[in-house]
Each structure stands twice: as structure tokens, then as C-alpha cells.
């Protein structure tokens, strides 16, 4: 059973323990797919942010986040799951483990044509996600899988700035004059309805915690709620209960938004998956 406290130093060691490997790869797919798809959605914003300074900052965050996804896919490759690029570009929607919230389109329109993207939704989704990711990463720093714990230390440094960035936007818009607070309220409702899917660790949740890969979903969710309560306290709005209205992405449940995202992001890759690009 659980290897309580003991660490797995390498992919080699992890692969020798089937239960361990199964829970570990499950967790890595969630981490990789979450970052990959939100970085994709973020990259669609390029050139469309509220001002040029934000365009620069936002694309830097997307780039970091795509880099984090690449780290996780590489860890999966090391565990024998296949080529990292194929994992990122070649898997069907039903094989993806990202939360449904993160695949959702940025708003009406297309990234090249009449994009009526919703900045309030972008801020709330990215802020809630960055906070959840921060809590997860803090826990992963003590993961029993050493290569993942090492990755968490590196990711944590960049994440600090992401969280600060989105928190600043969040409080600024929530407390502004004009229509901003109303738009933020709507975005908070919308994001909360699916935020449960981000906080979920999926069907192997118990094994993950028992094997010391990450703390339990319950503990992590409590921490997230505590952080949110602090931020919401002075605001003229409250945080609704988080739900998982449109299904559990961790179990492969997804929306058509993911299908169209995958079509776009793998368009060139699929022209010739074996070619070197």
C-alpha cells in the first residue's frame, strides 16, 4: 500500500510500482492538460487585451503557463506515456483530463474575427485558477515523486507573479466605478459554476493523497476557500458556492469548446504528426 513518507526518486522507480504509477500519471495529466488548455485560451487574447502593457504581461503569463504544461508532459514522457508533443497535440477530447472551466471559449467570436472576448471572465477565471494552482503547487513541493517536487519549486517562482497580477486586476475591477463590478459579479457566477472541476482531483483522488503525491482534495479546497474569503471580505460582492455544473473533466467529460480548441491547436501538427517541425 501507500509508501507513506518515502520518496520516489526517478521515473524508473515509479514505474516499478503499478499503483503508484497509475495515480502519478493521472495527476500529471490533470496538471499538464489544465495548463496547456488555459495557456491556449490565453494565447487567443494576444493583441486584444485592454491595453498594450497588459498584452505584454498576459502573453508572458501564457508563455510561462505553456512552459509549465511542457514540463508536465515531459514528466509523462519520462514515465513512458509517449512523446510529449503527441501527448499535447494528439490526444482526443475524451482522453483529456483538464477541468471544463479552462476549455471554455473567451467569449463570442473567433480569435481572428470579431472577438468579443470578455475581460471580466478572463480576469476571474485566471485569478481563481492561479490561486488554485498556487495551493496545488505548494503541496506538490512536498510530493513523494521527487521529479514533480523539483518541477513545483521551479513553477512556483513564476506563479507568484501570475497570482499577483490577476489578484490586482480582480480587486481593481471589483471595486471600480461604472459597469465593472456588475460585469465582475456575472463573471464570478459563471466561473464558480464550474470552478469545482478545477479543484477536483478526479477518480484517483484518494490514492494520490495516500501515496503522498499531493494532499487531499478536501484540504486543498479548504485552503482555496480561505484565500478567497480573505479577498472577498472587503468587496461589495460574495463568492457563490463552487460547483461542477458542466461535468467532471477529470473523468474525460468535456464540452464542444474543447473539440474546437483541439482542432485549432493541432492543425499544423496533424498535417504530419511524424514530421519534425
| Residue whose CB is less far from other proteins, 69 or 214 | 69
**Part in contact with other proteins (CB under 8 A); list of ranges 18-26, 38-46, 96-104, 154-162:** 38-46
259 Cβ partners below 8 Å, 6+ apart?
93
Can you tell me the distance from the alpha carbon of 40 to that of 73, in angstroms, rounded to the nearest whole number? 15
B/e letters for 196-214, b = 16+ CB within 10 Å, e = fewer, are: bbbbbbbebbebbbbbbbb
| Residue whose CB is less far from other proteins, 119 or 128 | 119
Of the residues 52, 230, 233, 241, which one makes contact with other proteins according to CB under 8 A = 52
Of the residues 13, 146, 167, 180, which one makes contact with other proteins according to CB under 8 A = 180
**Biggest CA-to-CA distance, the chain:** 59
Judged by CB under 8 A, the chain residues 112 through 171 that form the site for other proteins are 112-117, 119
Of the residues 19, 59, 225, 255, which one makes contact with other proteins according to CB under 8 A = 59
- Number of residues in contact with other proteins, rule: CB under 8 A? 55
User: How is residue 191 written as a grid cell?
Assistant: 466561473
Min. distance of Cβ 33 from other proteins in angstroms?
A: 13
CA 269 to chain centre: 23
Judged by CB under 8 A, the chain residues 63 through 122 that form the site for other proteins are 63, 66-67, 69-70, 73, 84-85, 88-89, 109, 111-117, 119
Can you tell me the distance from the alpha carbon of 237 to that of 41, in angstroms, rounded to the nearest whole number? 27
| Residue whose CB is less far from other proteins, 174 or 220 | 174
Can you tell me the distance from the alpha carbon of 41 to that of 102, in angstroms, rounded to the nearest whole number? 8
Can you tell me the distance from the alpha carbon of 96 to that of 252, in angstroms, rounded to the nearest whole number? 6
Judged by CB under 8 A, the chain residues 182 through 211 that form the site for other proteins are 183
Min. distance of Cβ 223 from other proteins in angstroms?
A: 26
CA atoms within 13 A on the CB side of 134: 21
Q: Which of 148, 149, 4, 26 is nearest to 75 (CA)?
A: 148
Min. distance of Cβ 197 from other proteins in angstroms?
A: 22
Judged by CB under 8 A, the chain residues 212 through 271 that form the site for other proteins are 234, 264-265, 267-269, 271
Can you tell me the distance from the alpha carbon of 77 to that of 118, in angstroms, rounded to the nearest whole number? 36
**Part in contact with other proteins (CB under 8 A); list of ranges 4-12, 61-69, 130-138, 193-201:** 61-69
User: How is residue 96 written as a grid cell?
Assistant: 483529456
Min. distance of Cβ 178 from other proteins in angstroms?
A: 5
| Residue whose CB is less far from other proteins, 68 or 97 | 68
Can you tell me the distance from the alpha carbon of 78 to that of 162, in angstroms, rounded to the nearest whole number? 28
Binding residues for other proteins, rule: CB under 8 A, are 40, 43-44, 46-53, 55-56, 59-60, 62-63, 66-67, 69-70, 73, 84-85, 88-89, 109, 111-117, 119, 172-173, 175-180, 183, 234, 264-265, 267-269, 271-272, 275-277
Amino acid at each position: 500500500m501507500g509508501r507513506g513518507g518515502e520518496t520516489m526518486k526517478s521515473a524508473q522507480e515509479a514505474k516499478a510500482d503499478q499503483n503508484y504509477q497509475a495515480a502519478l500519471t493521472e495527476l500529471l495529466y490533470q496538471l499538464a492538460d489544465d495548463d496547456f488548455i488555459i495557456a491556449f485560451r490565453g494565447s487567443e487574447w494576444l493583441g486584444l487585451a485592454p491595453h498594450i502593457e497588459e498584452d505584454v504581461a498576459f502573453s508572458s503569463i501564457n508563455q510561462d503557463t505553456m512552459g509549465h504544461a511542457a514540463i508536465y508532459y515531459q514528466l509523462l514522457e519520462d514515465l513512458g506515456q509517449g512523446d510529449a508533443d503527441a501527448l499535447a497535440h494528439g490526444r482526443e477530447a475524451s482522453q483529456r483530463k483538464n477541468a471544463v472551466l479552462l476549455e471554455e471559449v473567451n467569449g463570442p467570436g473567433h480569435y481572428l474575427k470579431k472577438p468579443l472576448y470578455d475581460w471580466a471572465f478572463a480576469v476571474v477565471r485566471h485569478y481563481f485558477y492561479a490561486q488554485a494552482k498556487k495551493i496545488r503547487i505548494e503541496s506538490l513541493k512536498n510530493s513523494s515523486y521527487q521529479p514533480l517536487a523539483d518541477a513545483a519549486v521551479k513553477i512556483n517562482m513564476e506563479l507568484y507573479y501570475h497570482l499577483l497580477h490577476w489578484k490586482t486586476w480582480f480587486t481593481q475591477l471589483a471595486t471600480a466605478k461604472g459597469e465593472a463590478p456588475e460585469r465582475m459579479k456575472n463573471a464570478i457566477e459563471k466561473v464558480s459554476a464550474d470552478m469545482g472541476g478545477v479543484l477536483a482531483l478526479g477518480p484517483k483522488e484518494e490514492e494520490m493523497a495516500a501515496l503522498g503525491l499531493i494532499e487531499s482534495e478536501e484540504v486543498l479546497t479548504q485552503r482555496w476557500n480561505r484565500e478567497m474569503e480573505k479577498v472577498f471580505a472587503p468587496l461589495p460582492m460574495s463568492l457563490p458556492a463552487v460547483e461542477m455544473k458542466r461535468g467532471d473533466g477529470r473523468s474525460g467529460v468535456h464540452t464542444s469548446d474543447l473539440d474546437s480548441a483541439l482542432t485549432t491547436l493541432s492543425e499544423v501538427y496533424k498535417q504530419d504528426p511524424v514530421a519534425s517541425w
